[in-house]
Amino acid sequence: MEFAFVSGISGIGKSYLIHEFQKLIQQQNGLFIYGKFDQFKRATPYTPCTKRASSCFNTY
């Protein structure tokens, strides 16, 4: 399992970079999970990571 975190000021192409990276991973039959941090919910660290990870392992 590998992780990549991308940060930077608005408008520099972070979303574009992530979408291009997603295409590459999916072409190689990899699993790509992403989440977005909410700057107003900083009280709970790693919230997007835990939400995405738990959604991958939920069974119905």
Average pLDDT in the 48-53 region? 68
pLDDT per residue as tens digits for the range 11-50: 999 989 999 999 998 899 888 877 776 667 666 666 666 7
Give pTM, 2 decimals.
0.58
The dihedral built from the CA positions of residue 57, 4, 46 and 42, taken in this order, carries a sign that is negative
Rg, the chain, Cα only = 13
Give the chain as a DSSP string. ---------TTSSHHHHHHHHHHHHHHTT---------TT-TTSTTHHHHHHHHHHH---
pLDDT of residue 12: 93
CA dist., res. 48 & res. 44, Å (int): 10
